[in-house]
Every structure is written in C-alpha cells, then in structure tokens.
A = this chain, B = another copy of it.
Amino acid sequence: MATDSPAARSRRERPAKPALTRAGIVDAALTILRDEGLSKVTMRRIAAALDTGPASLYVYVRNTEDLHAQILDALLGPVVEPATGPGGWRDRTRAVLVAYRDLLFGYPELARMALSTQPSGPHYLTLVDTLLGLLVEGGASDRAAAWGVDVLLLQATAIAAEHAGRHTSDEADPDLVRVIAHADPQRYPQVARLAGELTSGDGTSRSAWTVDVLLDGILARPE
C-alpha cells in the first residue's frame, strides 16, 4: 500500500514538529543544548531538527551570536528568585549569585559565550536590576553598586567559563596540580612554598571566599 503522502508520513513520525518561528528556533536550540551541548547547537543541526535547511533560519535569526544570546536569556528567568527569599541583603545577594553561577555551571559553554556577547535581554536586565537593589540596600554608593554588579557578574561568569572544557569535578585542574607540585623551587620559590594553598579548597569554598572579597571591597569603596 502506497497511499501515504510524504506529508502524512512526516506528520506521524514527527508529531510535534515545532513551528518555524523565532521562538520555535530558540526552543529547538534549547533542546539540543540540553541533550548534546553548545558545540552541537549549530545552524545546520537546528535546521535538521526543524526539518528544514539552514538557510531558512536566517529569516528569524541574524547569525549564530544572535541565536546564542537568545538561548542564554531564555535560561536566565529563575535566577533572581532567591532575591525575594528570607535572610538579609547579603545572604540574598549570595544566593542570587550562586543561582546564576550554578546555571552557568550547568551550561559552561554558555558562560564563555556570555563573555564575548554582552547579554542584554529582559531576564538579564531583571538580574542586574535585582542585584543593584540588593547592593543599594546593603549600603553601597550608587557608583559602587553600578560598577560592583558588573564585577560580581563577570566573576561568576568567568568562574563558570573556566570549567567549560575541563573536568566536571569540583576540584582543581589535575594538570595544574601536577605542574604546581613539580615546580622547581629555584625558579618558582613562591609557587613551591605555597603549592598546598594554591590547590586547596573546592569550587564552592573558593567561590564563597571570592564573593565575600568582592562584597567587602565594594562596600568599602568611598563615594
């Protein structure tokens, strides 16, 4: 029996073929991101998932950078939720930054992208607005709050970006640990002496240490 039209067959095999819209494209991209990582979120791969050719996407998306920016902002929604939770401004600030960092840890390749493409979507603006409010509540000057939010977000993004290619563990890079452990005490006296401290601590305690360094420094700035 050859009564099936190609369209009917396609409908049965892909019952939920997403619409070819900007939102549909971002949705398809998010699915591929979750399943296969950012390196597979390519124009050609998305087009294949949407059952079309790569050229079709350019009606809705300017280029790959534009697409990646859309993806990040779509994921950024829940990050500000801890800001309305319990605790003082400092605890809530820490919680928002941890949520942001944890999101990027889940998609470390997005963190690298966020460094090269300045985010400016609605969810990102909400995140900036929330952190500004928290720093001002904590007593920061307007300038310290404005510049400080930048530094705090950059630090969190960079830490996540660092873990993009590497090990999934929370420990220090084993390659670096080896190099530090074998550093020549003549050439690198401080590295040799402080080898233990240099590789001490897990990601969580170092992150917490860094956030406290930054918050104290920001609040201490004179107007």
Contact = CB atoms under 8 A, between A and B. Distances in A.
Contact of A214 (B118, B126, B213): B213
Q: Give the number of copies in the complex.
A: 2
A156 to B, nearest CB: 10
A132 B195 CA distance: 11
A129 B125 CA distance: 39
Contact of A164 (B115, B189, B209): B115
A87 interface: no
B116 A112 contact: yes
Contacts of A136: 190
Contacts of A154: 155, 158-159, 162
A108 B144 CA distance: 26
Nearest to A199: B146
A77 interface: no
Interface stretch (A5-13, A22-30, A46-54, A173-181): A173-181
A166 interface: yes
A161 B201 CA distance: 26
Interface residues of A, number: 61
Interface of A: 65, 112, 115-118, 120, 122, 125-126, 128-130, 132-133, 136, 142-143, 145-151, 154-155, 157-159, 161-162, 164-166, 173, 175-176, 179, 183, 187-191, 194, 197-198, 200-201, 206, 209-210, 212-214, 216-218, 220-221
B116 A162 contact: yes
Nearest to A142: B197
A188 B115 contact: no
A166 B133 CA distance: 28
Contacts of A175: 118, 120
- Nearest 3 CB-CB pairings of A with B: A213-B217, A146-B197, A158-B158
Contacts of A165: 65, 116-117
20 contacts: A112-B116, A115-B158, A115-B162, A118-B173, A125-B187, A129-B188, A129-B190, A132-B191, A133-B190, A145-B190, A145-B194, A146-B200, A148-B213, A150-B198, A154-B159, A155-B158, A212-B217, A213-B221, A216-B217, A220-B220
